[in-house]
Chains A and B, each alone.
Chain A
Amino acid sequence: DQQVKQNSPSLSVQEGRISILNCDYTNSMFDYFLWYKKYPAEGPTFLISISSIKDKNEDGRFTVFLNKSAKHLSLHIVPSQPGDSAVYFCAASDGGGGSQGNLIFGKGTKLSVKP
């Protein structure tokens, strides 16, 4: 059973607009959430993370929001740029914030930003 779910396999957005990528999870023991971006023929690239004790983390154009009661997080990219076109993976960890936890990934959302 998929513990991390990304229900939208694809998303298309106009350049300059906001991209919102959603992720739901089922395991309340997850204490860290991460977003990765992946281009074809490359490994996932870390984008931004959030601890379960926070509800928002911002880094430049990227903001992640966490709603623990709904077991839902979202990644906002604003403004979206054509170079943001990639597959975005949501991932969760129950490793206590250290490096001992493996990551559990969603199936990814393919974002296309059109000029």
Chain B
Amino acid sequence: AAGVIQSPRHLIKEKRETATLKCYPIPRHDTVYWYQQGPGQDPQFLISFYEKMQSDKGSIPDRFSAQQFSDYHSELNMSSLELGDSALYFCASSLNTVEQFFGPGTRLTVL
């Protein structure tokens, strides 16, 4: 079965640079979620979209923005990167269920 696809899998950036992470949900899933997991931490909810509209917002910094496109894929844009942004970024998708299905994650390293 098709799973959530995230790209890139690894990304290295310098401080103050920008990064764009992409997420392709499971086909027909209408809700996309973004989570950030720091080293040794639990995944923290950032933002979610339902039918291309932002549906909920968590602890997402103002330097970050996201959107969901007409084909339901989503992009997380991160600007003015800081060392503390180094983390695993997970995308998850769902369709009318509380169960969310996660992608493999993007590991972002900010130098």
Interface residues of A (CB under 8 A from B): 4, 32, 34, 36, 41-46, 49, 89, 93, 95, 97-108
Which of A34, A43, A100 makes the CB contact (< 8 A) with B90? A43
Taking the closest CB of chain A, its distance from the CB of B102, in whole angstroms, is: 4
Chain B: CB-nearest residue to A31: B98
Taking the closest CB of chain B, its distance from the CB of A26, in whole angstroms, is: 15
Contacts across chains A and B counted by CB atoms under 8 Å: 70
Which of A32, A44, A105, A107 makes the CB contact (< 8 A) with B98? A32
Q: What CA separation (Å) do A36 and B96 show in the bound complex? A: 19
Chain A: CB-nearest residue to B31: A99
State whether A104 touches B98 (Cβ < 8 A).
Answer: no
State whether B56 touches A102 (Cβ < 8 A).
Answer: yes
Q: What CA separation (Å) do A52 and B47 show in the bound complex? A: 25
Chain A: CB-nearest residue to B33: A102
State whether A93 touches B98 (Cβ < 8 A).
Answer: yes
State whether B31 touches A44 (Cβ < 8 A).
Answer: no
A43 proximity list for chain B (CB < 8 A) = 4, 6, 90, 92, 102-105
Determine whether B101 belongs to the interface, using a CB cutoff of 8 Å to chain A: yes
A107 proximity list for chain B (CB < 8 A) = 40-42
Q: List 26 contacting pairs A-B, 8 Å CB cutoff, sorted by A.
A: A34-B98, A41-B104, A42-B105, A43-B90, A43-B102, A43-B105, A44-B43, A44-B90, A44-B102, A46-B99, A46-B101, A49-B98, A89-B43, A93-B98, A98-B97, A99-B30, A99-B31, A99-B96, A99-B98, A99-B100, A101-B56, A102-B33, A102-B56, A103-B35, A103-B100, A107-B42
State whether B90 touches A99 (Cβ < 8 A).
Answer: no
Q: What CA separation (Å) do A34 and B92 show in the bound complex? A: 14
Determine whether B19 belongs to the interface, using a CB cutoff of 8 Å to chain A: no
Given A43-B4, A43-B90, A43-B103, A98–B42 Cβ distance below 8 Å? no
